[in-house]
Amino acid sequence: MHVVIVGAGTFGASLAWWLARAGDEVTLVDQFEPGDPRASSGGESRLLRSAHGPHADYTASARRARTLWRELEAESGEDLYLECGLTWFAQRDDAWEAQSVPVLAAQGIPYQRLAPDDGALLFPSWDPSGLRFLLHEPEAGVVRAQRAVQTLARRAAAHGATVVRERATPEGPGARLEDGRVLEGDVVVWACGPWLPKLFPEHVPVRPVRAELFFLDGGEAWRDPSIPAFVDLDSAFYGTHDLDGLGVKMAPDFDGPPLDADAPLPPAGEARLDVTRKALEGRFPALAAAPLLHSKTCRYEPSIDSHFIAAEHPEQRGVWLLGGGSGHGFKHGPAMAERLAPALRGEAVLPGHLGLGARVASDALFPIPADG
């Protein structure tokens, strides 16, 4: 099978690696180098955790992806995954985090339900105010995102894939490059992140938005690699310890304003920094006044309901649309590739929640926070 993949983010590069090492002919196309910060799979790090509330399918996918990221590490010799654990901060007894517990248990995924005060054993600075419990995943952690995408592309090439740096647009069942060539294959997969709704506006329920990240100088205490990553869904923030000397990562987890895929990335705003410091003051008091090392913006590509998109184009046989990472898709890349490969061959049917049909926000995979 010859597969043309447009987009070398986590979904596209993972698929190229998976297919090429299986012996398929693969052409991987991207307008940038893999891991470019202008793409939604750029940046230094992404969380890898299995909890997905009551959604067993995504839970299993994340757990499988952890295994496959380890396989990529072994194959490449790269250090891609830091298994530091991840802790969820639950503000209600019946919260989304509580719904995750029976699913994790059913799939044999390690977890601990901890008292709020136990956070003092995990983090250098801690205030448990307002929390009902902590859900700790000891085998979760952080993927070095940019390095991981670059490694996927390199390993795909090592297995025989052709990597082309060109911008592509759809032309019938093929992909037209800016140099005039038209690439065709048995299958063409469009996995181009925030560009997907620009190319297929009638079929892709995705709205690219801006997200902001802040990196703080937490001092030596926050450089300990055993400090877990953390997520607070109700207060809408997440982050990591100081990974690779870049600073403590804090991210307000709101969908920001729309950001066109071709627009320059603007600087992070003071308003979101204020929100970040307020969150820190309430949870990690010693970090609230920590010096800001640097800040940045990136692109999210949320679908209407935060479920991914993986489906054949309804009017072009052999053309597939893959995306809608929705701020949580990076970790799933290799598992999505493993799942998609037999579907491209007509040997499997993907679940309906990945389809192109009508979607509504009330079916969202995660609680949707209010901005601010």
- pLDDT-derived band at 362 (thresholds 50, 70, 90) equals confident
What's the confidence (pLDDT) of residue 370? 36
Q: Is 176 exposed, middle or buried (0-12, 13-18, 19+ CB in 10 A)?
A: middle
Q: What fold is seen in the domain 2-363?
A: D-Amino Acid Oxidase; Chain A, domain 2 (3.30.9)
Percent of the chain with pLDDT over 90: 93
Phi, psi angle pair for 267, to nearest 5°:
-70, 160
- In terms of Cα–Cα distance, which of 253, 244, 221 is closest to 126? 221
Calculate the average pLDDT of the chain: 95
* 3-class secondary structure, 134: strand
Per-residue pLDDT for 121 more than 60? yes
pTM: 0.97
* Euclidean distance between CA atoms 139 and 166, whole angstroms: 38
> Angle at the Cα of 47 (from 127 to 85), degrees rounded to 5?
60
Residue ranges per structural domain of the chain: 2-363
* Euclidean distance between CA atoms 74 and 80, whole angstroms: 10
- In terms of Cα–Cα distance, which of 11, 15, 10 is closest to 1? 15
Render pLDDT for 258-279 as a digit per residue (tens, 0 to 9): 999 999 999 999 999 999 999 9
